[in-house]
Structure formats: structure tokens, C-alpha cells
Amino acid sequence: PAARVRGMGTSIFTEMTELARTTGAINLGQGVPELPSPPALLRDVADAVLAGHNQYPPAVGFPALREAVAAHQLRRYGVAYDPVGEVLVTTGATEALAAAVLAFCDPGDEVVAFDPCYDAYAADARLAGATLVPVPLALDGDHFALDADALRAALSPRTRVLILNTPHNPTGKVFTPAELAEVADVCRTYDLTVITDEVYEHLVYEDGVRHLAVAALPGMRERTVVVSSAGKTFNTTGWKIGWVCGPAPLVAAVGAAKQFLTYASGTPYQVALARALGSVEEWAAGLRGTLRAHRDLLGTGLAAAGLRPFRADAGYFVQADVRPAGYGNGVDFCRELPGRVGVVAIPTSAFYVGSDAPTWLVRFSFCKEASVLEEAVRRLAALA
Ligand code: PMP
Ligand code: GLN
């Protein structure tokens, strides 16, 4: 195989889901939602299929979905995008991220991202012949914080792109207004292109915490490509419908790569999502209520099992310190967990590109039915 894929192996998610399958354990590893989708959305997909929306959509996406995405960005973040030229529909956020990194990085370039990070970022950099330079988030008690000095120290003349994931996987962190202002300042000063991964934008659980779009900050719209996706918002991760918003020249560059990765996909889903996105707030409020309760259920269970759960303001995951339960590190803990109590989790160290991983942290997902989490919590209690 070519150097760009040599040693890439299989993703941690595939590995852990396979482990859950072979051991029969409850899978709190991969963040796959096992929660319902809006019934009207499902009916609309069926109707779209039966109405004959089964051929290639335009490569840039079904027009009504591009209009719905633009309206969503304006309504929620006050940032205007032209649905013609400034919005591009992709095969999930995954393709959007890959196409964006391919579009902006030449071989030898550097991409900075906050560590820990979603596993695709380093892989995308590598596919482009670039390198991901990790900037460790600082551990601050039971949560993570921006270390602006570490960010500045990570920059070099080869730095082209900063990937910002907020709300953040795996930590559940939502970058604060002050942190975003710092990040934006660095990006303007060093003339970086920003790729924001906002797939958890609707899944923020704390009343005092809000997801803010970095593209809305002064001088940022023109250098930012916003990536999001329908997967987490509507519990439709298998549909792989995502999108990109940004200024026309940047979106054109992403589209140039995207057209030769998949050209286009998911016509009936695009048709149906155009409508669902128009009233997403109502749906998301209910989903947030469910996920907030599930986060609390899991967090309480982890504490009762003798672990120390971290704060998770958003997203699908709670991290826990496994040392209070007598484990030296998360890898050993996760290796033994299926056999010992019948649960699969992922060591947070698997999300680190750099060497600063807190080896004692483990990620558990709570995007499951309450009955599944209740059973997982019952099983985990055997650890105490
Ligand atoms: N970014 C982050 C941070 C994620 O957690 C995920 C979900 N797996 C993705 C991107 C990929 O999104 P999609 O399923 O839309 O490709
Ligand atoms: N986003 C999910 C996670 O972090 C799963 C992504 C995937 O399976 N590729 O677990």
C-alpha cells in the first residue's frame, strides 16, 4: 500500500464495536445513537423515494437543502451564506472534513487541532500529505480548557489550517466566548484558514452554556469553512448527509475535491432533511432533554461505580478517571471491562495525537436508550 495509508489500521470505533459484538457487551464505545428520529422526517424520506428522488442530486446538493442550511446559519448564528456558491452538501461531515483538508493543504503543510481530537483529523492531514500538529487542551479539574500559549507555540510558517471542533468530541467541551475570541485572534494574526467541526451544535445541555459559531466573530467569516451534519441532530448517522458553509472561493475549493470523492449522494435524504432543518429547534429541544437525562444517568452510575466522571456540557460522551477504581490506565481498564462487567468503552488516550494524554481517562457514550444505560450502570456497579 501507499505510504499515506500504511499503518493506518482500522479506526478505534470499528475495533471497539467489533469487541462489543464478539463479547456481547453493551457498546458505550462508538458514538452511535440508538435513539428515535423525527417521524415526519422518516415519512418524508419514504415519500421522496417513492416520488422518484433516486438519481444523482446536483453535485453541490439539492437546492432546497442548501437553502435550508443557509437559513439555519442566519437564524442561529447571524451569518449569511448564499445557498448558491456558499453552501455545499457532502457525504457526512466526514467527507466535508476530508475534502476541506485536501482543498487547503499542500504536502508538507501543517494542520493544528486541539488534542484530544476526533480521529479523522490526523488521517485527513495525512491523506493530504500534511501533518497534524496537536495542541493539548489543558486539564482543569474535571474539564478541559484552551491553552492559548500552547496554540501559539504550535504554529510554524507551514501552518495552513486550524481545525476547531466545538462542541468537542471526545470531551463534551463547548469553547467559551473568551476562548473563541483567542482562537480567532490567532487565526487572523497568522492568516490561517479555519475548518470548524460543529456536528454537535444542537446538543448542548447546560443552561448557561451556548454554542457559538466562530465564523460570526469579526474577520472570521472570510477565512472559515463551517462543517456540520444531520447525523447527530436527527439520529440519522447512517444517512451520511453533511454540509459546508463558507465564502465562495473556499467552498469552491472544497467542492473541487468533493466532486471526485463521491460526486454526490443521498438524494432522498437531502430532500427530506431540507424540510426537517427548517424546524430543527423544536426537535432538538426534545432531544437535548433526553440526552441531558441520559448524561446524568450515566454520570451518576460512573460515580457509583467508583470512577470520577468529568463535566460534559455537550455531545455524546462522558469521560471518567479510572484511577479511583484501582486502575492504572484506561487502556487496561477498557481491555478488561467487557470480560469483567460486560461493557465496552474507549480509552481517551486513543483520541490523542500528541504524547500528553491523561492515560487514566476513559470515554463512555450516552446516546443510547435509557434501558440500555440503566443496564450498563447496573453492570458497572460491580466495579465498586
Ligand atoms: N466530527 C465529529 C467530531 C464527530 O463526532 C463525528 C461523528 N462521528 C463526525 C465528525 C462525522 O460526522 P458524519 O457522521 O456526519 O460523517
Ligand atoms: N463520532 C462517533 C464517535 O466518536 C463515531 C464515528 C465513527 O464511527 N466513525 O464515537
Mutation to probe ligand 1, out of 88, 89, 90, 118 (largest number of atoms < 8 A from CB):
118
Residue nearest to atom 7 of ligand 2 (CA): 13
135 pLDDT more than 90: yes
Mutation to probe ligand 1, out of 69, 164, 199 (largest number of atoms < 8 A from CB):
199
pLDDT score, position 12: 87
240 pLDDT more than 90: yes
pLDDT above 70 coverage of the chain, percent = 100
Q: Which amino acid, 264?
A: A
Mean local confidence (pLDDT), 355-360: 94
Backbone φ, ψ for residue 378 (5° rounding): -60, -45
Residue nearest to atom 9 of ligand 2 (CA): 13
- Separation of 118 CA from ligand 2 center, angstroms? 8
Respond yes or no on whether the N-terminal peptide bond of residue 116 is cis (omega within 30° of 0).
Answer: yes
pLDDT score, position 268: 98
Residue nearest to atom 4 of ligand 2 (CA): 31
Residues 140-166: tens digit of each pLDDT: 999 999 999 999 999 999 999 999 999
Residue 362 banded pLDDT, cuts 50, 70, 90: very high
- Separation of 170 CA from ligand 2 center, angstroms? 10
Provide the CATH number for the domain formed by 12-37+282-383 in this structure: 3.90.1150.10
Mutation to probe ligand 2, out of 233, 237, 240 (largest number of atoms < 8 A from CB):
237
pLDDT score, position 15: 86
Mutation to probe ligand 2, out of 10, 32, 94, 366 (largest number of atoms < 8 A from CB):
32
Class of domain 39-279: alpha beta
Burial 297-326 (b: 16+ CB within 10 A, else e): bbbebbeebbbbbbbbbbbbbbbbbbbebe
Mean local confidence (pLDDT), 182-200: 98
Q: Are 86 and 251 in contact (CB under 8 A)?
A: yes
| Ligand 1 binding site (Cβ under 6 Å of any ligand atom) | 31, 92-94, 118, 165, 169, 197, 199, 229, 231, 237, 240, 242
- Global ipTM: 0.97
Atom of ligand 2 nearest to the CA of 13: 8
Residues 53-70: tens digit of each pLDDT: 999 999 999 999 999 999
Q: Are 258 and 88 in contact (CB under 8 A)?
A: yes
198 pLDDT more than 90: yes
Atom of ligand 2 nearest to the CA of 199: 1
Average pLDDT, the chain: 97
pLDDT score, position 104: 98
In this structure, are strands 224-229 and 143-145 parallel, antiparallel, or unpaired?
unpaired
pTM: 0.97
Residue 11 banded pLDDT, cuts 50, 70, 90: confident
Mean local confidence (pLDDT), 230-256: 98
What SS3 class is residue 28? coil
**The cell 476541506 sits on which residue?**
100
- Separation of 328 CA from ligand 1 center, angstroms? 30
Domain boundaries, the chain: 12-37+282-383, 39-279
Residues 289-333: tens digit of each pLDDT: 999 999 999 999 999 999 999 999 999 999 999 999 999 999 999
Question: Which ligand ends up closest to the CA of 365?
Answer: 2
